[in-house]
Amino acid sequence: MLQKKSKITTLDVFVLLALLGALVYVVYQVKVKLNYNWQWGIIPQYLFRYDAESGKWVSNYLIHGLLTTLRLSFWGTLLATILGTVMGLLRVSKSLFHKMLARSYVELMRNLPPLVIIFIFYFFISDQIMPIIGLDDFLRSSSAGTQRLFETLFSPPQFASAFISALFTLAIFEGAYITEIVRAGIESVEKGQWEASHALGLSKYHSMRHIILPQAMQRLLPALAGQFISLIKDSAIVSVISIQELSYQGTQLMASTYLTIEIWITITALYLVMTLTFSLGVGKLEAYMAKSQA
Amino acid sequence: MQEKKLGDYIVTVEKINKTFPNGVCALREFSTRIRRREVVVIIGPSGSGKSTFLRCLNGLEEIDSGSIVIDGIPLDENKKNRWEIRKEVGMVFQSFNLFPHKTVLANITLAPRLVRKKSNDEAAEMAMDLLRKVNIPEKAESYPSQLSGGQQQRVAIARALAMHPKVMMFDEATSALDPEMIGEVLDVMKNLAEEGMTMIVVTHEMGFAREVSDRVVFMEDGYIVEEGTAEHFFTNPQKERTKLFLSQIL
Ligand SMILES: Nc1ncnc2c1ncn2[C@@H]1O[C@H](COP(=O)(O)OP(=O)(O)OP(=O)(O)O)[C@@H](O)[C@H]1O
Ligand SMILES: [Mg+2]
């Protein structure tokens, strides 16, 4: 593929100027018309605060929220990938029942408002399933080391049930998109690969597992990474069920400090830092994959 | 080649018909029998059903009617028989179809390990023997994309041989190769024929047909138009259609 050097055209300059103008206008409105009293000085302490007891700097609400968002996104993507792979396999199966099952799942998830899905699944999982698993009891009776490990990987033990329920809810939601990605990946593997594999006497299962799926997954890697970024954004929705991720922390802080604009600008910046960093990474990954494919 | 003794019939094809869902009829009442150690070359114009015939023999395509029996195993509804036949019949494709995510060695050892339940060491040892046979033992740890077309096709042949097939099929194995690489692949195929492998070879390489084949089959529109020794085809073809085709490719 030919890489065109991007040139800045008159139109670009015009658009940039318009954006700049809009920004100036907003700042002017806030500053002069609203007579808004900026108090940026208060914000940093919500990122890191000085702990007098231990004499150390420790992370505070916003960083906690950011980490929770990252944990939710990471485990959520992982779970969604597993679910999406299973459903994707059903989607390309010859059996009509399998196909319908996977198709119904995908259509249901994609045609309901995420908020509705979150409420339905969250209450179902946390009410019906979590007590059966008995995670809370397990954590309460487990050693301090296990509890700390759980806190590092997932969430503080006292919120375990809610966190895990939210995690599964997000995974079920996100899994529908990954199902379609996996299906596309499997279908993108050349027919010749199936034929060579069958001609060697490999069963359908072995062909899928050793020949088709590994190639599909390799091609899917960038798309999956993209889905991870989506989940960083989409996970904000679980703030409605009181999971203390970044958006939730923002709402809470706003309610207690009334620094609406400062806080939301900070939250915006934090989300952008996460998503843009990972986007850059995905771009690199894509370029790398494209090179290794050639 | 003269003193070569052919064995009993290993492939029996009787009156098979194949029509694709789009209505194209690729094989019509096609019958033939192939003996052990026989090398059959199939020639014919594009679209005459040569590939379809090979693909039916190992069940990559299902036939509509007729019967195929290979080494005593009927290719029928019974799925087990189909897998059994695929183990016994090796296939080499025009486009190689190597597994790009696996090394050359892994390409060759995969099926013996999974299907023949060979141990890793045993499979690897056999793979190295086969790579020596096709003259590229030094490429064992390479990936297919790092090889030339001729090398890839030789790996594909080694991969098929690793299953110890009783019959080898080649579908235009040299058609996708640059001219300077055709020879190295044909040499491997010739050696195989000399070792007594039963081979069904779809090719446009008339030199190969003349030198190696026991029988040449000329087909068109899903029929066998004429068959005989290579000698017969080059000196004394009977049918007008055959003469026309040969005059075009020779
Ligand atoms: N999967 C398919 N679906 C529909 N039609 C097909 C399919 N495969 C082959 N055909 C048709 O069947 C006929 C025979 O095809 P086949 O590939 O067997 O010919 P061939 O002799 O191998 O030709 P070539 O020399 O071009 O490889 C052709 O008309 C082809 O278009
Ligand atoms: Mg063909």
Secondary structure (DSSP) of A92-128: T-S-HHHHHHHHHHHHHHHSS-HHHHHHHHHHHIIII
State if residue B24 touches ligand 1 by the CB under 6 angstroms criterion: yes
pLDDT value of position B75: 92
Q: Could you tell me the pLDDT band of residue A49, with boundaries at 50, 70 and 90? A: confident
pLDDT reading at B44 higher than 80: yes
CA distance B244 to B229: 18
Phi, psi (degrees; rounded to nearest 5) at B92: -120, 130
Ordered DSSP codes for B140-163: TTS-GGGS-HHHHHHHHHHHHHTT
Is there a contact between B60 and A195 if contact means CB atoms under 8 Å apart?
yes
State whether the beta carbon of B26 lies less than 6 angstroms from ligand 1. yes
Q: Is the pLDDT of residue B85 over 70?
A: yes
The distance of A76 to chain B (nearest Cα, Å) reads: 28
Contact A155, A68 (CB under 8 A): yes
Q: Which amino acid is at A182?
A: V
Does the residue A50 lie in any domain?
no
Asked if pLDDT for residue B196 goes beyond 90, the answer is: yes
Which ligand minimizes its atom distance to the CA of B52?
1
Instruction: Quote ipTM for the complex.
Output: 0.93
How many CA atoms does the CB half-sphere of A78 hold within 13 Å? Answer: 7
Choose the closest CB to A201 out of B99, B100, B111. Answer: B111
Q: At what angle do helices A96-110 and A61-91 cross, to 10 degrees?
A: 150
Average pLDDT, chain B: 93
Q: Which mutation among B18, B24, B56, B245 tests ligand 1's pocket best, with the greatest number of atoms within 8 A of CB? A: B24
Amino acid at A195: E
Residue B41 pairs in a beta bridge with B201, B216
Token pair recorded at residue A213 = 């799926």
Number of domains making up chain A? 1
Has residue A80 been placed in a domain? yes
**Tens digits of residue pLDDT in A137-191:** 888 888 888 888 888 888 888 888 888 888 999 999 999 999 999 999 999 999 9
Q: How many CB atoms lie within 10 A of CB B207?
A: 12
Query: Which amino acid is present at A33?
Result: K
- Compute the distance between CA of residue B68 and CA of residue B51 in angstroms, rounded to an integer: 16
Any idea what DSSP says for residue A6?
P
Instruction: Determine which residue's CA is closest to atom 17 belonging to ligand 1.
Output: B51
**Would the CB of B99 count as within 6 Å of ligand 1?**
no
Given this model, what pLDDT does residue A147 score? 87
Q: Could you tell me if residue A278 is inside a domain?
A: no
Q: Report how far Cα A164 is from the mean position of its chain's Cα atoms.
A: 15
Asked if the structure places residue A240 within a domain, the reply is: yes
Question: For residue B143, is pLDDT > 90?
Answer: yes
Domain assignment present for residue A53? The answer is: no
- Choosing among A190, A200, A211, A212, which should be mutated to test the B contact, i.e. which has the most B CBs within 10 A? A200
Return phi, psi of residue B28, to 5°. -125, 120
Query: Per residue in B58-82, pLDDT tens?
Result: 999 999 999 999 999 999 888 899 9
* Residues B95-107, mean pLDDT to the nearest whole number: 95
Q: Give B240 to chain A, closest Cα distance, Å.
A: 36
Domain membership of residue A176 (yes or no) is yes
Q: Which of A198, A206, A214 sits opposite B114 (nearest CB)?
A: A206
- Interface probe, candidates B108, B110, B157, chain A, greatest A C-beta count within 10 A: B110
3-state secondary structure of B34: strand
Quote the pLDDT of residue A1: 45
- Per DSSP, B201 falls in state E
| Dist. CA B75 → ligand 2 center (Å) | 22
Amino acid A5: pLDDT: 60
Q: How far apart, in whole angstroms, are the C-alpha atoms of residue B60 and residue A195?
A: 7
Question: What integer is the mean pLDDT of B16-28?
Answer: 94
Name the pLDDT band for A67 (thresholds 50, 70, 90): very high
- Pair of tokens at residue B200: 């069904």
Residue A140 alpha carbon to ligand 2 centre in Å: 68
CA distance B193 to B168: 10
Question: For residue B30, is pLDDT > 50?
Answer: yes
Decide whether any atom of ligand 1 lies within 6 Å of the B213 Cβ: no
Mean pLDDT calculated for residue range B184-199: 95
Quick check: is A289 in a domain? no
- Provide the residue range defining the domain that includes A236: 71-244
Nearest CA in chain B to A197: B111
In a domain, A147, yes or no: yes
The CATH number covering residue A115 comes to 1.10.3720.10
Pocket perturbation via mutation, ligand 1, pick of B16, B18, B20 by most ligand atoms within 8 A of CB: B20
- Is the Cβ atom of B18 under 6 angstroms away from ligand 1? no
Choice between A2 and A186, residue whose per-residue pLDDT is larger: A186
Q: How confident is the model at residue A205 (pLDDT cuts 50, 70, 90)?
A: very high
Helix (H, G, I), strand (E, B) or coil at B69: strand
Three-state secondary structure call for residue B44:
coil
Instruction: Provide the pLDDT for residue B248.
Output: 85
A248-292 pLDDT tens trace: 999 999 899 888 888 999 999 999 999 999 889 888 888 887 776
